[in-house]
Chains A and B, each alone.
Chain A
Amino acid sequence: MRADVIPVSILTGFLGSGKTTILGHLLRQPEFSRTAVIINEFGEVGLDHELVETSEDSFIELKTGCLCCKIRTDLAYTVQDMLQRRDEGNCSPFNRIVIETSGLADPAPILQTLMTDTSIAERLVLGGVVTTVDTVTGVSTLQREDISQKQVAVADRIVLTKLDLGGPAQPVLLRRLTELNAGAPVLSADRGKIDSQSLFRAGLYDPHVRSLDVNSWLAESRHSHARHDADVQTYTIVRKEPIGAITLTLFLETLAEHCGADLLRLKGIVNIAESPDRPAVIHGVQHVFHAPAWLKGWPSDNRNSRIVFITRRVPQRWVEALFEVIDAEVADASVGR
């Protein structure tokens, strides 16, 4: 990993769920002073950027339209331009990028762009996805709006907002969030105020130690949280035995081929048989898989492969059966059976 790699975090959440309020608070914190912000608004005329005060060392790019569809390529251009200006000394030397999506945005294509666009991908590392959920209307929004479910499902951190209006989060809301994404810790914001450390130390890359923080990023659930009637399901596949590189490649390829559109997010740490001391970190969104990051060593004594799946109606048993079949066939082929 390059020394000057820049973490890019995504702040998402449904319309009116408090994203801009949180962003405004964050940008007033000293540790966020060198942050470049991209605010994406859906309307023709942007307004949110007027609501965010920043220090002189931060700067804001405003994009209207929806980043996840119409101007998706614009995101890559915008980030590329920002990086170029930074390199040339024409803007503040930011060390972090935060993208505030529109309330109607699907975060998955944005993640894909950041991971795959060759003009920017090698300069960036995903710093985490933070999703705001309004405690007043959250239950009904999650029931009514598919996109809000997806925003929650791909989150590394979920932030409850408007507790001053709605009081403590209702158990039904917390249950729904657990069903959608059991792995993401749920935090609370007090009128936008929240501990920035707990919020953005959620990604794969920890800017404080400038290294890959897999355990925090993975935040896997110990149990499957799949509901039979639920569209979005989260579960973790754990393997104690090392996985052959060929097995893993075939497995990911088949997943992408048959269920790519329903594979909202996949992230994991894998004990590759050919590389026992350097685990691979894998990350995929729908059909797209990022090139694996190879850690210098295991982050803990746990050397099991752990892959977290966030899917739309992809049965856990299918994923497990697929892996077992591929693993067995590769093993058979290697001994000529």
Chain B
Amino acid sequence: MSEVAVDRACELLVQSLVAWRVAGDVRRSRDGAIVICGALEEIRIDFAPSDPMFRWMVTIGRRQRRAMSLVGVLRQVREALDPGYAANRVRVVLTPLVPY
């Protein structure tokens, strides 16, 4: 995982808190993880380099969950920090993906 990618993830998380109107602080820890200190929870996000399937590990309290992408990370973070969030599992599929 390049520093650029982690910085990009940090920026997304900072902006996500703004977009969701959720209070919190996003910072990098000394060991390279991303840490979010919210009013309700502290969340730690690590890159999971040894796992070919899941790129990220999200730790909320004692619970650890993996995520395939930052889209998955966003969902976990939102669920933890925003109690009013009811996940809207909208499926948007561009069918057909290419013109026929």
Chain A interface (Cβ < 8 Å from any Cβ of B): 245-246, 248-250, 252-254, 256-260, 272, 274-275, 278, 280, 282, 287, 289, 291-292, 294, 313-315, 317-318, 321-322, 324-326, 328-329, 332
Complex CA–CA separation, A154 to B55 (angstroms): 38
In the complex, chain B residues 10-31 whose Cβ is within 8 Å of any chain A Cβ: 11-12, 15-16, 18-21
Most buried by A among B71, B92, B93: B92
In the bound complex, residues from chain A placing their C-beta under 8 Å from that of B95 are 291
B1 to chain A, nearest CB (A): 9
At the interface, yes or no: B64 with Cβ under 8 Å from chain A? no
In the complex, chain B residues 22-59 whose Cβ is within 8 Å of any chain A Cβ: 55
A265 to chain B, nearest CB (A): 15
Contact check, A318 vs B18: say whether CB atoms are below 8 A apart. yes
Contact check, A315 vs B15: say whether CB atoms are below 8 A apart. yes
Given A315-B18, A317-B15; A287-B98 close (CB under 8 Å): no
Q: What 1/0 flags go to B61-86 for Cβ under 8 Å of A?
A: 00000000111001100100000000
B10 to chain A, nearest CB (A): 9
Given contacts A249-B97, A257-B75, A318-B16, 20 further A-B contacts (CB under 8 A): A245-B94, A245-B98, A248-B94, A253-B71, A253-B92, A257-B87, A258-B16, A258-B78, A275-B98, A287-B88, A287-B90, A294-B99, A313-B21, A317-B11, A325-B8, A325-B12, A326-B69, A328-B5, A328-B8, A329-B55
A-B pairs with CB below 8 Å: how many?
Answer: 88
A-B contact list, 6 entries, CB within 8 Å: A245-B98, A250-B69, A254-B71, A256-B88, A313-B21, A317-B18
B51 to chain A, nearest CB (A): 13
Give the nearest-CB partner of B10 in chain A.
Answer: A321
Contact check, B88 vs A325: say whether CB atoms are below 8 A apart. no
Q: How many residues from B make CB contacts under 8 Å with A?
A: 30
At the interface, yes or no: B60 with Cβ under 8 Å from chain A? no
A308 to chain B, nearest CB (A): 17
Complex CA–CA separation, A260 to B90 (angstroms): 9
Complex CA–CA separation, A328 to B75 (angstroms): 18
In the bound complex, residues from chain B placing their C-beta under 8 Å from that of A272 are 97-98
Could you say which of B19, B91, B94 contacts A315, with CB atoms under 8 Å apart?
Answer: B19
Most buried by B among A253, A322, A324, A325: A325
In the bound complex, residues from chain B placing their C-beta under 8 Å from that of A324 are 8, 12
Complex CA–CA separation, A252 to B18 (angstroms): 19
Could you say which of A246, A282, A318, A325 contacts B70, with CB atoms under 8 Å apart?
Answer: A325
Most buried by B among A248, A254, A259, A321: A321
Complex CA–CA separation, A260 to B86 (angstroms): 12
Contact check, B19 vs A259: say whether CB atoms are below 8 A apart. yes
Complex CA–CA separation, A211 to B92 (angstroms): 25
B43 to chain A, nearest CB (A): 16
Instruction: List 10 tightest A-B contacts by C-beta distance, closest first.
Output: A294-B99, A318-B15, A318-B19, A245-B97, A321-B12, A256-B90, A253-B92, A252-B92, A274-B98, A275-B98
Give the nearest-CB partner of A289 in chain B.
Answer: B92
A313 to chain B, nearest CB (A): 7
Complex CA–CA separation, A231 to B46 (angstroms): 35
Give the nearest-CB partner of B71 in chain A.
Answer: A254
Give the nearest-CB partner of A333 in chain B.
Answer: B69
In the bound complex, residues from chain B placing their C-beta under 8 Å from that of A275 are 98-99
Could you say which of B20, B91, B98 contacts A253, with CB atoms under 8 Å apart?
Answer: B91
Contact check, A257 vs B88: say whether CB atoms are below 8 A apart. yes
Given A294-B99, A325-B8, A328-B8; A249-B88 close (CB under 8 Å): no
Complex CA–CA separation, A253 to B69 (angstroms): 14
Given A249-B94, A328-B5; A258-B12 close (CB under 8 Å): no
